[in-house]
Structure 1
Amino acid sequence: MEVPAGYDHDVFGDGSVIVLSMPGHTPDSLGLQLRLPVGTR
């Protein structure tokens, strides 16, 4: 998946899984943000 620097991508459109562009020392680095229901890990 390609996410332009400075932009994020909501995978399912509900905010539960977001791919984050993380420009820095390594080109094309991505991060993943997960939003879980309260009380789960």
Structure 2
Amino acid sequence: MEHICRKLHRTAAGSRSKYIRRRKRDIALSTETLSQVFQIN
């Protein structure tokens, strides 16, 4: 039983870190596009 819980916890942590990484990339992309827009104006 303990083994299954540990496995679930590890996958949950992995998906969370993956989500955070994706969010960081999204934020970086949005800031990049914003700076480009401001440079054009």
Structure with the higher fraction of residues in helix conformation: 2
Check whether TM > 0.5: no
Structure with the higher fraction of residues in strand conformation: 1
Q: Which structure is larger by alpha-carbon Rg, 1 or 2?
A: 2
Q: TM-score category by the smaller chain?
A: under 0.3
Q: TM-score with structure 2 length normalisation? A: 0.19
